[in-house]
Amino acid sequence: MKTISRSLAIIAPAVLLFGIVTPANAADTPGQYGYDQPGDKNYVTNTDVLERFSPDGGNNQSYKVVADRAQADAAFATQAPTVDGVKDASWNDAQSYPIEHKFNAGMTGDDPSATTTGTVRLMWDGPVLYGLVQVSGDSTESDSATPNWNTPSYAANTDGIYVSMDVYNDQWGLETDTQGTFFLSANPNLTSVTSYNNPTIPSLGSFFNPTNQDYSTRLKAFKSSGYTPGDGVNYTYEFALQIEGWGDEPNRQLTDGTKVGLEVGAYDQGNSFTYWSKSQYYTGLEDGSNLPDAQRTPNRDWGVVTLDGWDKKTPFAYSGWSADEDIRFWNSKSNPGGSGNGTQPGANGDGSAVWTPASKNAFVSAKNAYLAIKDSATASRADKEAAVTAVTDAFDGLRWADTKYPDPHDLPQLQTLPSAYTFFDPTKGTNGQVTNAAQWQKRKKEILDLAQFYEYGYKPQLGVDYTINVTGNAYNGTGNPVVTAQVVPTNANFAGGVPVNISIPITLPASVPGGGEAAVGFSTNFTANGIANVTFPNWGGDNRTDAGAWGNPNRVGTFYTLFPYQRNSTSADSSILIANATAVSVYLDALQAAVAANAALAAKIDPATAVTKGFSINGKEAFVAAVFDDRVKAVVAGGAGATGPANWRYNAQGQEFDFSGTAYDNPGAQNIVSHGTEGPGNSYRHNRVRETELFRHFLPYGHEYDHQDGSYGYGDYSRLPFDQADLVATLAPDRAIIIDTNLNDYNDGAVTDNMSLEIAKSVYDNMGVNGSDFVKFNSGNYVSSGDPHGAASATPEGHYLSDLLYGTKTLTAEESARLNTDPYSLKVSDGQTQNPYDYYWGGYNTITGGKTGVGGGDGWYFSGFASELADLRSTVAGLGLNQGRATALTVKLDHVKKLQASDQPSEAAVVLGDFITQVAGFGQAGIVSSPEAGRIVSSAQQLVLFLNAAGAPQS
C-alpha cells in the first residue's frame, strides 16, 4: 500500500515563496491568545473597527477604536417622571453628567470654542429608562423646523439631540435589532422623532424607524421644551425608553448592576455637536462621513448606563410591553402572514402558516386573553401580569410547522464545527459515524438535506418537480452550438408553476487537451484552457427590498415562474441561491439530453463534467451550485463569504495580522486589522432572499445579536446542525474548490472562507486522497488602496483546471506554490510567531471540538494516519487504566500500525474495530467516562474510515 500524505513536492516551493507553513495543530505555544475567555470581545467579536480608515495613516489600514466609554448611574424612581420637557422635582435625586465633548458642525474635528454644552440625568422604574437632557450655551434659536433623516449620515435642520440606545450593551460596531439612533428635534410641537432607514436594504438603519425591518417600540415617550433664550438652560429634553426583553428573551433581568448602552449628543444647528461619551470625532465614521449615522449606527464609543438604587423590595412599575411587543411582531411583516410593522389598524398575523398548529393556537389564545384584560379597570395587576407571562411563554414556545427536523430552538448548542463524520440520525452509519465510502455518500446526502431544510430551501429535482423537452438541437459540428429547451414544472411540490423556454448558447474552446470533449464552464471564461463557456443563468434576482423579499407576489425570475415562492409556507420558501443552483442543474440536464440525441454535440462537450465560477454574490451562487450537483467537478468561489464557504460560527472581526515579508505584502500589510466577516445576523437581515425564513428563526427574536460565552459569533447559530465547512467537505473525495479572494477582503470571506477549506481539506485526507490536490487558495495580495473586494489573476486557476480535468501539466512551480498556500496558515499573528487559526481560535483541533488545544488530536480534524494513531495511543496512556487493560488497548494499536505499514489496511481496520468495541465496553462499564470513551471511539472510527478508503478497490 502507498501511504497517502500531503504532497511535499507541491508544498516545498511554498517554503521558499511564503515562509514556513505551519499546521494549525502543531504544538501548543505558551503565548497563545486566550481565545476561550468568556465574554472577551477584544479579538473574538470585536466590531469597534473603522473599515479602511486610520487616523495615523492610509494604505487601507483599518483602525481598532480604543476609547473610554462614559459611565453613568441611573437612579431608581419610585415615581416615574412625567415626560413633558420640564425638569420636575423627581430629577433632583438623579446625578448630573456633563455633555462636554465638542466638535465642529461637520464632525471633521474638535471645536474647543463651541459654546453649547449640556447635562444628562437618568432614572429607571423597572421596565423604563428615563433621560433628562438640558442644553446651555446655544445662543441661536432653531426649534421650528421639521427634520427628515433621509440620508445615512445626517446633520439636522434644527437644534435637537441625537439619542443612541444599545439595549443589552452588546457594543457592536454596526446596526442591530437592539441598537439604534434617533434625533429628537428641539421643535416642541412635533409628535414624532426622526431616524433613518434604507429602503433598498430595510435592515440598514435604526430600529426606532417604523419602516425598519426590525422596528421596535422601545421609544415610549419624548418631549422638547422649545427654546428659552439667555445664559441659563436653553433646551430641556426628556425621553423614556423601554429596557425590558421580549420575544426569545422575555425575562431579561433588570436589577442594580444591569447595563444599558446610551449616547447623547446635543446639536447646535449649523454650529457644533457636543457629546456625552464620544471623545474622538472620527469614531462614528461611515461611508466617508463622521456625522451621526443611523444606517450602521456605529457603537464604538457610546456610554454605559448602570441601573442603581433599587432596594429589591419596591415593586417595579407595571408593564405589559413585552406582551405588546410580541403581539406587534406577530401582526407585522416579520411574521409570515402579518403586515407592515404590526401597529396599523387591522394588522393581524393569525393567518401565519409556518408554525405548528398547537404552538400557534397557544399563542393566539394567550394573545386574545391578554388583549381582553389589557385595558380593564377592574382586572388586578396580578391577573394582568399572569396574562403577560402567558403571552411571552407562548411566543417563546412557537415552533416551526415542518417537523422533518427539529425547530432551531430545540437543537443543542455546539460552539465548534459539527463533525462531518457524525450522522444527525444516530441510527445511520456505524453507531452514527462514517467508517467507509458508502456511509460517506449517505452522510453527504444528509448534510445537503439539512442545508436545504434550514438554510437554502429545497432544490427541485428532475423527474419529480420538472421535466425537460429539448426543442432546438441542430448543431452540426461547426461554429458555436445553441441548445433550446422547454422546462415543464410538475407542480408536485410547488403550486402554480408554468412552463418556461430556455436558450443555452455555448462558446466552444478552439481545442481541448487530449482531443476529447470539453468540460462545461459556467461563466468561467477558460476557453483558452479547453473549457467550454456557458453564461451562468440568473434565475433569481437579489432584490432585498421589503417588496422583493417579503412582498406578495415577489421574488421574480425564471425559477419563481417555474416554482412560485410562498413566504407564508414551509414548503415553497426557496432562496435565490438554491434558485440559481437549480438553473445550473437544469442547464446540465438539457445539455445531457441534447448530447444524447446529437453525436456532433456529444463530440464537443461533456455536460457530466462542469465547472462553476463567480465572485461576490455570484461566488455564493457558484459554490451552492457546485455543492448540490455532483456533475460540477470544480468550483471557483471568489469573495463568497456568508452563505458560501464561510462558517457561521466563526467571526474574524478585530483580528490583527502582519503580512510583511510574505508574498502577499504591500504597503500597509504589516499592520492589518480585520474589519469584516459578514455574520448570520448581517447576512439574513441584509440579504433575506439568500436564505430561508426558517434560517432566520435561529436568531433570537428581540436580541438577534446575543453573544454566547465561548462563542466566536452571535445569535443562536451554534444550534445549526451543520456548518459551511461540512458543505465544502461534501465535495470530497474527488471534486475541487478554489478560493479566489484578495487577502484583505474581510467583509466577503477572507480568513473565514479559508478556514472552512482548511477543515474540509482534512476530510479529503481522511478519505485517503491528498486534500491539497483538490483544495486551492488563489488569494490576492494585500490591497493598499481602494476597495479590496476583488480577486487575484485567474491564470493559475485555468492552468490548474486544465491539469485537473485533462491531465495536462500547465501549472508552473510558482503557481502551484501559490495555490497550495493559505495565507492565513502563515505565521502572521502574535508578532509573526503563530498563525491566526492557532492564535485566535485554538487551532484546527479546537475548531473541530477538541479539548486538548492546538497540539491535541481529539477534535475531528484529521491530521494524518500516523499522527492520529499516535495521539490515540497517548490518550489511552493517560486514561489511568490498570496495566492489563492499558496493555490490551495499546497492543491493538501497535498491531494496527504494523498492519497499515505492511499494506494491509483491511486487516488493520478489523483490529481497530476490536479496539473500538473494547473502549466502548469500558465506557458502558464506567471504567472510562462515557464522554471520554465517546471521543476515543470517534477518533478511532475516523482511522477506520481512512483504512477502509485505502483498502477499497481503486477505480
- Considering the chain, what is the average pLDDT of its residues? 92
> Within 13 A of 690's CA, how many CA atoms are on the CB side?
24
pLDDT of residue 13: 27
Note if the bond before 112 is cis, omega within 30 degrees. no
- What's the one-letter identity of residue 80? A
Give residue for cell 471521543.
935
* Per-residue cell: 953: 478497490
Q: List, for residues 720-752, the tens digit of each pLDDT value.
A: 999 999 999 999 999 999 999 999 999 888 999
* Per-residue cell: 417: 464545527
Instruction: Answer yes or no: is pLDDT of 562 > 90.
Output: yes
* Per-residue cell: 35: 481565545
pLDDT of residue 27: 34
From the number of C-beta atoms within 10 Å of its C-beta (0-12, 13-18, 19+), residue 79 rates as exposed
Q: CA-CA distance, 189 to 750, in Å (whole number)? A: 50
Residue 329 near residue 213 (C-beta atoms within 8 A): no
**Residues sharing a CB contact under 8 Å with residue 389, sequence separation 6 or more, in sequence order:** none
Q: List, for residues 338-353, the tens digit of each pLDDT value.
A: 999 999 999 999 999 9
- The CA-based angle 434-435-439, given to 5 degrees, is 55
User: In this structure, what are the phi and psi dihedrals at residue 311, rounded to the nearest 5 degrees?
Assistant: -85, 5
pLDDT of residue 11: 25
* Per-residue cell: 939: 477518533
Instruction: Answer yes or no: is pLDDT of 15 > 90.
Output: no
Question: Could you tell me what percentage of the chain is helix, strand and coil, using 3-state DSSP and rounding each to the nearest 5?
Answer: 30, 20, 50
Residues facing 233 on adjacent strands:
136
pLDDT of residue 46: 64
Does the model's pTM come out above 0.85? Answer: yes
Provide mean pLDDT across the span 413-421.
95
**Residues sharing a CB contact under 8 Å with residue 418, sequence separation 6 or more, in sequence order:** 720, 721, 722, 723, 726
Instruction: Answer yes or no: is pLDDT of 143 > 90.
Output: yes
Q: CA-CA distance, 195 to 148, in Å (whole number)? A: 8
Among residues 220, 262, 277, 221, the alpha carbon closest in space to that of 244 is found at 220
Q: CA-CA distance, 440 to 452, in Å (whole number)? A: 18
Q: List, for residues 433-482, the tens digit of each pLDDT value.
A: 999 999 999 999 999 999 999 999 999 999 999 999 999 999 999 999 99
471-495 burial string, b = 16+ CB within 10 Å, else e? eebebeeeeebebbbebebeeeebe
Among residues 206, 39, 49, 68, the alpha carbon closest in space to that of 709 is found at 39
pLDDT of residue 594: 98
Work out the percent of the chain whose per-residue pLDDT is above 90: 82
**Residues sharing a CB contact under 8 Å with residue 226, sequence separation 6 or more, in sequence order:** 85, 143, 186, 187, 188, 235
By residue count, the chain amounts to 955
Instruction: Answer yes or no: is pLDDT of 287 > 90.
Output: no
Q: Supply the DSSP string of 356-418, one letter for each residue.
A: -HHHHHHHHHHHHHHHHHTT-SSS-HHHHHHHHHHHHHHHHT--BS--SS--GGGSPP-SSPP
Rounded to a whole number of angstroms, the distance between the first and last alpha carbons of the chain is 15
Instruction: Please give the helix or strand (H or E) that residue 576 lies within, else none.
Output: helix 576-597
Instruction: Answer yes or no: is pLDDT of 551 > 80.
Output: no
- The CA-based angle 67-68-71, given to 5 degrees, is 145
pLDDT of residue 685: 83
Q: CA-CA distance, 214 to 701, in Å (whole number)? A: 9
Q: List, for residues 624-660, the tens digit of each pLDDT value.
A: 999 999 999 999 999 999 999 999 998 888 889 999 9
CB atoms within 10 A of CB 645: 28
Q: CA-CA distance, 936 to 857, in Å (whole number)? A: 10
